[in-house]
Amino acid sequence: MNIEQVLTTKVKEAVRDLYEVELPTVEFQPTRKDFEGDITVVIFPMLRYVKSNPEKIGTAIGEHLIKVVTQVDQFNVIKGFLNITVSDEYYLETFKDIRSIEHFGIREKEENGAVMVEYSSPNTNKPLHLGHIRNNLLGYSVAQILKASGKKVYKTQIINDRGIHICKSMLAWKLFGDGETPASSGLKGDKLVGNYYVAFDKAYKEEVNQLVSEGKNREEALQEAPLLKEAQEMLRKWEAGDAEVVSLWKRMNAWVYEGFKDTYTNLGVDFDTLYYESNTYLLGKDVVEDGLQRGVFFRKDDGSVWIDLTDEGLDEKIVLRSDGTAVYMTQDIGTAIQRVRDFPDINGMVYTVGNEQDYHFKVLFLILKKLGYSWAAHLYHLSYGMVDLPSGKMKSREGTVVDADDLITEMTQTAANISAELGKLDAYSEEEKGALYKTIGLGALKYYILKVDPKKRILFDPEESVDFQGNTGPFIQYTYARIQSILRKAPEIVESKSTKKQNVPLHLKEKELIKQLLVFPDTISQAAAQYSPALIANYTYDLVKEFNSFYQQVSILGEENTEIRTFRVLLSAKVAEVIKTAFSLLGIQVPERM
């Protein structure tokens, strides 16, 4: 039982004995840095049940706790806050317990229920870009955090491998490609196909401008440009199973998949299962028919099928066009149901999709609830803001996106440049430097993006992210490497089982470090409940700040008292382990040397 649980029981007992009142809950918060104490009982909520002065109530409860709770050393009351100082013995005993836990903070897997986390979900007409990076990092990290909280997790993506945008790249390659392949061009397949998407847009605009110059208005020109009509005809042929078109589609998509695979490997993300829109775009039509019979949907005079969500503060939403073809909502309904058929233990799904789709997912989740699926109550849209660069907004069709591979390379080079300026790696071989630069660069990129609440828009500055000071990935990585350097100098202590520290009071900085370590399991639980890697990132930064303050104010290896030296080395080792675990939840590696 942790100290908060002990105090909850004893505070309730004190209020019952002193005031003959049963408190439903007890509110705690960490004691403010400018007050003495470790944990604070907030008195104000009790005033609904106890009619007395807050300071008198706090003092009476504090005096009761001193008598009955051995872990409480002393207390003070400031206005409506009861600040409690917890004994060194409690923290020493607690540290001994957490040191014995191999993967501290990680919960055992629950037996019932699984969560499917969807992320990435790119189009096969262009390479991954900076926006995809935030999507992938968020989705992968949330999956890792959910696993750490005890959930069984399936990581998935739906690859958007069909539609008019795909046909545009295919048509441009057919018209302008002259048989070019990734092998003949030396380009990654996704980049090659993306170039033809840009080429289509350029040629299409020229045709539109030509039609406008001939007297068409712009709206007409946009619809009547020959290239667009050819692309639309190609899509019709694909849907009809035309052998030549399908063959080209398979060939070019294969190039893209190979390119995506390399990017995912470099980014350090993966998937357990894949869905393809070419297999799912017809799903959901049977569900709509069933929903019509049950009165969930209704048919309009033109034959289209809709759902009325106005009672829920939303609009009417179309789910089948008048010609019987599906819309994206239909497909998403069918795909969600299909996933549960494929993985019957799923009782929740997380969709990692930008905030421009907020309304779509409100409607999707509500429709699935109205259709009667119990798991629909556990659907979550992991909505996130855009990522901007100082140079401005990205546009795929114009070829002005920030390519994911290029950004990873740039981050590695930025890490190399800054490390060279600081002279940190002079003793390393070129191979060691290259591996470390990539670890630092990727760590900087991932941490910079994940430390921000997902809902917030980000202005990403590569150089700022690789700063070795402040709330950055490299600063945390450097602290981890610093601890490893300490541990390498005391291998006999690291391997020992001792945590003795008798008759010597805890240094304030030792106690603060233990308190920060103890927060880790709850931080994982909160991050899982809120689907927020930012909580893990910022917890890790706080832990590292606390360690560096400890490192600067106490002697570790130079401490003459053997028990204190041993304790401090073991405390440092546990801090390093938690940093490594926390960063693994963010998909970030930590270097042993730096």
How does pLDDT run across 86-102, given as a tens digit for each residue? Answer: 999 999 999 999 988 98
Please state, in angstroms and rounded to a whole number, the distance separating the CA atoms of residues 134 and 586: 12
Phi, psi of 26 (to 5 degrees): -125, 130
Looking at the structure, do residues 77 and 144 belong to the same domain, yes or no? no
How does pLDDT run across 459-486, given as a tens digit for each residue? Answer: 888 888 888 889 999 999 999 999 999 9
Q: What is the 3-state secondary structure (H, E, C) of 533-556?
A: HHHHHHHHHHHHHHHHHHHHHCCC
Structural domain includes residue 415: no
Structural domain includes residue 540: no
Query: Helices 243-267 and 404-422 sit at what angle, rounded to 10 degrees?
Result: 20
Among candidate residues 387, 404, 422, the one where a domain is terminated: 387
Rounded to two decimals, the pTM is: 0.92
Structural domain includes residue 445: no
How does pLDDT run across 326-338, given as a tens digit for each residue? Answer: 899 999 999 999 9
Looking at the structure, do residues 207 and 170 belong to the same domain, yes or no? yes
Task: Identify the burial level of 241 via C-beta atoms within 10 angstroms of its C-beta, where 0-12 means exposed, 13-18 middle and 19 or more buried.
Answer: exposed
Looking at the structure, do residues 182 and 269 belong to the same domain, yes or no? yes
- 8 A C-beta contact, residue 115 and residue 349: yes
Looking at the structure, do residues 165 and 80 belong to the same domain, yes or no? no
Q: What is the 3-state secondary structure (H, E, C) of 246-275?
A: HHHHHHHHHHHHHHHHHHHHHHCCCCCEEE
CATH number assigned to the domain comprising residue 339: 3.40.50.620
* Over residues 274-290, mean pLDDT: 94
Which pLDDT band holds residue 505 (cuts at 50, 70, 90)? confident
Please state, in angstroms and rounded to a whole number, the distance separating the CA atoms of residues 121 and 132: 9
Residue tagged 């995912």 (tokens): 264
Candidate ranges 98-102, 250-254, 409-413, 418-422; pick with highest mean pLDDT: 250-254
DSSP-derived 3-state class of residue 330: helix
- 8 A C-beta contact, residue 263 and residue 404: yes
**The 298-299 sheet, strands edge to edge:** 298-299, 305-308, 316-320
More confident residue, 429 or 517: 517
Structural domain includes residue 16: yes
- 8 A C-beta contact, residue 284 and residue 330: yes
Looking at the structure, do residues 265 and 351 belong to the same domain, yes or no? yes
Please state, in angstroms and rounded to a whole number, the distance separating the CA atoms of residues 107 and 151: 9
Among candidate residues 387, 418, 447, the one where a domain is terminated: 387
Among candidate residues 365, 387, 409, the one where a domain is terminated: 387
More confident residue, 420 or 235: 235
Mean predicted lDDT score pLDDT of the chain: 93
Task: Report pLDDT for 11.
Answer: 97
Task: Report pLDDT for 400.
Answer: 52
Phi, psi of 308 (to 5 degrees): -100, 110
Task: Report pLDDT for 503.
Answer: 59
Looking at the structure, do residues 237 and 383 belong to the same domain, yes or no? yes
Looking at the structure, do residues 216 and 269 belong to the same domain, yes or no? yes
Structural domain includes residue 286: no
CATH number assigned to the domain comprising residue 36: 3.30.1360.70
Say if residue 498's pLDDT is above 70: no
* Over residues 561-567, mean pLDDT: 91
* Longest Cα separation, the chain: 94
* CA nearest neighbour of 353 among 559, 174, 139, 156: 139
DSSP-derived 3-state class of residue 532: coil
Structural domain includes residue 158: yes
- The gap between the terminal CA atoms of the chain, to the nearest Å, is 39
Looking at the structure, do residues 58 and 190 belong to the same domain, yes or no? no
Looking at the structure, do residues 232 and 169 belong to the same domain, yes or no? yes
* Over residues 517-545, mean pLDDT: 97
Structural domain includes residue 96: no
* CA nearest neighbour of 109 among 157, 150, 49: 150
Q: Residue 450, Cα to own-chain centre: how many angstroms? A: 6
Looking at the structure, do residues 131 and 210 belong to the same domain, yes or no? yes
Which pLDDT band holds residue 311 (cuts at 50, 70, 90)? very high
Please state, in angstroms and rounded to a whole number, the distance separating the CA atoms of residues 455 and 450: 11
H-type alpha helices, 302-386: 328-342, 358-370
- 8 A C-beta contact, residue 169 and residue 252: yes
Residue tagged 């990654």 (tokens): 188
Please state, in angstroms and rounded to a whole number, the distance separating the CA atoms of residues 5 and 518: 14
Task: Report pLDDT for 33.
Answer: 86
How does pLDDT run across 354-384, given as a tens digit for each residue? Answer: 999 999 999 999 999 999 999 999 999 999 9
Secondary structure (DSSP) of 271-311: -SEEEEHHHHTTTTHHHHHHHHHTTSSEE-TTS-EEEE-GG
Structural domain includes residue 120: yes
- As for how many domains the chain has, the answer is 2
The DSSP letter of residue 105 is: T
Please state, in angstroms and rounded to a whole number, the distance separating the CA atoms of residues 309 and 287: 18
Looking at the structure, do residues 36 and 179 belong to the same domain, yes or no? no
Residues 6+ apart with CB under 8 A from 378: 115, 347, 348, 349
Which pLDDT band holds residue 390 (cuts at 50, 70, 90)? confident
Count, residues in the chain = 594
Looking at the structure, do residues 352 and 233 belong to the same domain, yes or no? yes
Please state, in angstroms and rounded to a whole number, the distance separating the CA atoms of residues 170 and 167: 5
Task: Report pLDDT for 395.
Answer: 46
Q: Element (H or E) spanning 192, and its range? A: helix 189-213
Structure tokens at 128: 């991954």
Structure tokens at 207: 């045709």
* CA nearest neighbour of 42 among 79, 2, 86: 79
Q: Domain span at residue 66?
A: 3-86
Please state, in angstroms and rounded to a whole number, the distance separating the CA atoms of residues 131 and 135: 6
